[in-house]
Chains A and B, each alone.
Chain A
Amino acid sequence: MKRTAILWRLASALVAAGFIAAWQLVANLKLVSPVFLPGPDRAWAALVRGFSSGDLAGKLIGTLEHMAYGWFAASIAGIALGALIGSSRMMRAYVAPSLEFLRPLPVSAIIPVAIAMLGLTQGMALFVIAFGAIWPIMLATIHGFAAVEPRLYEVARSLQMSRTAIIAKIALPSALPDILAGMRLSLTVALILSVVCEILAGLDGLGHWVLLSARAFRSADLFAGVILLGATGYLTSIAMSLVEQRLLAWQTAAR
């Protein structure tokens, strides 16, 4: 069991190494002009240079801030609204059709609206990121609250639990697996929208860095930014998985 897991790790590392080697080969043979495609060696050098003498760290922090604020705002609002709608059948019937109209709306379509109303500001970015990231969380929370085992509500009634106790001790923990899954999806959405907002509004962050590098034909810097964005998405997703594993330990207890 443990050995096969290690072998799979090794295999995936080999694939990644092979990919990087192929990239290096293509760059060395100049199949694509070096102006547009740097090799991994140059991209890595640009990454190190960006951190040591440039302001790449500052850009990274800028993007992480946009992402985190928007995601937190979306999580709080999404869970609160989702709980409100999901715990009442009447609310679900009233609100669900409106949600179905808003949900598939491409967030990029509301960016001009947000810019017109809020300007090219951090507030605009926060609004856009939160608006995009709220859907997976809210819909998952609605589903989680609607799917609570009815028997548990009867147990709560026979114990004469208060309404807040029922939400905190029965409904919320029961919906938690759904909520966390929604929050993980939203993490990716928040990262994408952070970059989009930085590009469109010129806000300090990796999106802006990538845009400026591309305009100046500094392809190594451009790739350094892209690599950093990829790593951000990967690491935040891993962190989220660790949190999920910890909070949902009971799910794996029996298996």
Chain B
Amino acid sequence: MSVVARLIEARAARRQKPLIAFNAATLRLGGKTIIENLDLQVRPGEFLCIVGASGCGKTTALRLAAGLYRPTSGAVTFEGEEITEPRREVAIVFQDYGKALLPWRTAAGNISLALEASRVPARERGARIEALLRKVGLPGHADKYPTEMSGGMQQRLQIARCLAQEPTTLLMDEPFGALDAMTRQGLQDEVLSLTQASETTVIFVTHDLDEAIYLGDRVIGLLPHPGRIGIELDVDLPRPRDQLATREHPEFLRLRRQLFDFIKATEH
């Protein structure tokens, strides 16, 4: 076997091993079962979207993967190791960017928070912050306070702070739910280009079915009360995705119909 073939095989093997795995994970909170017997594997480099009616436990599943919750029974693992606490290589983008940013720190200061936590020396921070702001499309806004920025800009800032952690995995909890349609599409494409280039693994929770298909390699639909997997769809759409071409693709429309039917059925 040639070296190249072996390398490709090794890489394929690595891709087979899940990065994050839910093994019969169950979570009960206050006497209610939020998630029951969830089995789910997330491959390295995969873009996984989770959808479902409100209250189906999709945010809870994300918090389990983040280490913000621990399962009542079963396990959630990262690279085969049980997740007990949040880890630096896993970054979380919260939906409520207004609450997740420090209002008393400027844009630069908010990014600096992550760099300080990673013990990046002070003299290196300036250049890193500048590069990150440029990366998320906020150059020249370093000295603005979050309250001086629009919702879209604040969410970009939160994403920049997460990227400052240099994560291998991004957990995104309805990150664009509160943004207007145009801003949302722009950010979808930016997140795709940011994560595809660096092969970042993403778990993306959303209630927007089109968004899930547009972004994901795979879409999981959860059933509510208690949360469990109801549908699993592989998205075989060419990359890079395109806001017009992808959304007009027959496969996109087929998946969309399937997902809509599923959600509709869960609402009864």
A and B together in one complex = yes
Q: Which residues of A contact B (CB under 8 A)?
A: 149, 151-152, 154-155, 157-161, 165, 169-170, 173-174, 176, 248, 250-251, 253-254
For A254, the chain B residues whose CB sits under 8 A away are 145, 147-148
Q: Contact check: which of B68, B86, B117, B148 meets A165 at CB < 8 Å?
A: B117
B100 adjacent to chain A (CB < 8 Å): yes
Query: Which B residues, 91 to 123, have Cβ-Cβ distances below 8 Å to chain A?
Result: 91-92, 94, 96, 99-100, 102-105, 113-114, 116-118
Least Cβ–Cβ distance between B112 and chain A, in angstroms: 10
B88 adjacent to chain A (CB < 8 Å): yes
Contacts beyond the supplied A154-B94, A250-B105, A250-B145: 15 A-B pairs with Cβ under 8 Å: A151-B94, A152-B99, A152-B102, A155-B113, A158-B67, A159-B86, A159-B117, A159-B165, A160-B85, A160-B87, A160-B88, A165-B116, A165-B117, A174-B104, A250-B104
For A157, the chain B residues whose CB sits under 8 A away are 68, 85-86
Query: Can you list 8 A-B contacts with CB-CB less than 8 angstroms, sorted by A residue number?
Result: A151-B94, A151-B96, A152-B102, A154-B68, A155-B113, A157-B85, A158-B91, A159-B117
A170–B113 alpha-carbon span in the complex (Å): 10
When C-beta atoms are compared, the residue in chain A nearest to B149 turns out to be A254
Contact call B66/A158, Cβ cutoff below 8 A: yes
For B94, the chain A residues whose CB sits under 8 A away are 151, 154-155
- With A149-B99, A155-B100 as contacts: A253 and B68 at CB distance below 8 Å: no
Q: Contact check: which of B67, B87, B100 meets A151 at CB < 8 Å?
A: B100
Contact call A170/B91, Cβ cutoff below 8 A: no
For B66, the chain A residues whose CB sits under 8 A away are 158
For A170, the chain B residues whose CB sits under 8 A away are 102
For A159, the chain B residues whose CB sits under 8 A away are 86, 88, 113-114, 117-118, 165
For B147, the chain A residues whose CB sits under 8 A away are 250, 253-254
